[in-house]
């Protein structure tokens, strides 16, 4: 676990934190230590930027919370929450029935469909038949891993796990795997990059709400009712006053909230 740094010190969101705001309660906020562009990525100096970084700053400001950031490896982020090393997770975590057995969530703050990407010029779709015999890359300990194991496990030749989606994307670009499954927003960001010019979106996977969940929410410990209420009110407020839209337009040219 990395050392805690004040969210107000994240350079890309300094403008969102006005000097006159009286911050009351200190809470420890975490996102995954692994890069997940365009939501959260560190630069060479360790400063983080991205849509979710700016969203976190706006929510903390609106809720009058003194938010301290400590990135945690994705596969340890829920244990860090339940053991009280952190107080909330803002890391593109999908609200699923399985996770709700262990932790609670705020209202959703964005939604995304799961999709499959693969090399240009290779025709296949996001179905078991389309992926038959292929090596499929997924991020470990993710809903995409669970989905692939359930729906594609009998069809693909291998489901290859990666610590980060970025690593899977790099292997796809290098031709070491045949396809990847992930959040369509993150995949589209990759496909618009120089590295991602190799590939295109093959389609969206069939909906399975039991695995793919009910949108993206802020992860919280069960019983943290007051904090949940503060965050829900803050999410609603920044959507109503235009802050959410202003942040979103920097990174996306389409609605990411959904219905």
- Please write the tens of the pLDDT for every residue from 120-169: 999 999 999 999 999 999 999 999 999 999 999 999 999 999 999 999 99
| 49 within a domain of the structure (yes/no) | yes
Whether 9 and 104 share a structural domain = yes
Mean of pLDDT over the chain: 90
Residue 86 belongs to some domain of the structure: yes
DSSP output for the chain: -PPPEEGGG-GGGGGGS-TT----EEEEEE-BSS-BTTTBEE-TTS-EESHHHHHHHHHHHHTTEEEEE--B-GGGHHHHHHTTS-SEE-S--B--HHHHTT-EEEEEEE---EEEEEETT----SSTTTTTT-EEEEETTSHHHHHHHHHTTTTSSEEEEESSHHHHHHHHHTTSSSEEEEEHHHHHHHHTSSGGGGEEEEEEPPP-HHHH-S-EEEEE-TT-HHHHHHHHHHHHHHHHSSHHHHHHHHH-SS--S--
CATH number for the domain including 47? 3.40.190.10
Q: Indicate if 222 and 106 belong to the same structural domain.
A: yes
Tell me if 32 is assigned to some domain: yes
Range of the domain at 236: 5-111+215-251
What is the average per-residue pLDDT within 163-183?
96
What percentage of the chain carries pLDDT values higher than 90? 80
**Claim to verify: residue 188 and residue 220 sit in the same structural domain:** no
Residues 66 and 125 in one domain: no
Same domain, 69 and 191: no
256 within some domain: no
In a domain, 87, yes or no: yes
Please check the confidence at residue 209 and state whether its pLDDT lies above 70. Answer: yes
User: Does residue 72 belong to any structural domain of this protein?
Assistant: yes
Task: Look at residue 257 and tell me if it is in a domain.
Answer: no
- 8 Å CB contact between 92 and 183: yes
Per-residue pLDDT, 24: 54
Do 161 and 220 lie in one domain? The reply is: no
Q: Provide the number of structural domains found in the chain.
A: 2
pTM of the model: 0.72
Residue 14 confidence (pLDDT): 39
Q: Which of the four pLDDT bands, split at 50, 70 and 90, describes residue 26?
A: confident
pLDDT of 10 reads 43
100 & 125 share domain: no
In this structure, the answer to whether residues 75 and 64 fall within a common structural domain is yes
> Do 233 and 194 have their domain in common?
no
Residues 221 and 158 in one domain: no
Q: Are residues 21 and 98 in the same domain?
A: yes
User: What are the residues whose beta carbons fall under 8 Å from the beta carbon of 187, sequence distance 6 or more?
Assistant: 115, 117, 169, 180, 201
Residues 105 and 153 in one domain: no
Within a domain: 258: no
């Amino acid at each position: 676990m990395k050392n805690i740094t004040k969210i107000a010190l994240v350079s890309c969101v300094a403008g969102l934190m006005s000097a006159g705001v009286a911050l009351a309660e200190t809470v420890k906020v975490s996102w995954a230590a692994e890069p997940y562009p365009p939501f959260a990525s560190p630069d060479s100096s360790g400063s983080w930027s991205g849509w979710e970084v700016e969203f976190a700053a706006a929510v903390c400001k609106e809720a009058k919370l003194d938010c301290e950031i400590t990135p945690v490896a994705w596969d340890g982020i829920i244990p860090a929450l339940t053991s009280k090393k952190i107080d909330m997770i803002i890391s593109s975590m999908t609200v699923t029935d399985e996770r709700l057995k262990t932790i609670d969530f705020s209202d959703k703050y964005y939604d995304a469909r799961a999709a499959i990407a693969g090399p240009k010029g290779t025709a296949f779709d996001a179905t078991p038949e389309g992926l038959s015999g292929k090596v499929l890359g997924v991020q470990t300990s993710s809903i995409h891993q669970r989905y692939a194991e359930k729906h594609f496990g009998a069809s693909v030749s291998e489901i290859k796990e990666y610590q980060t989606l970025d690593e899977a994307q790099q292997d796809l670009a290098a031709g070491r795997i045949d396809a990847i499954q992930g959040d369509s927003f993150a995949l589209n960001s990759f496909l618009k990059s120089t590295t991602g010019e190799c590939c295109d979106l093959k389609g969206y996977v069939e909906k399975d709400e039991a695995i793919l969940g009910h949108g993206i929410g802020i992860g919280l410990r069960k019983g943290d009712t007051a904090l949940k209420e503060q965050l829900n009110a803050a999410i609603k407020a920044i959507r109503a006053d235009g802050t959410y839209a202003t942040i979103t337009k920097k990174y996306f040219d389409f609605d990411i909230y959904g219905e």
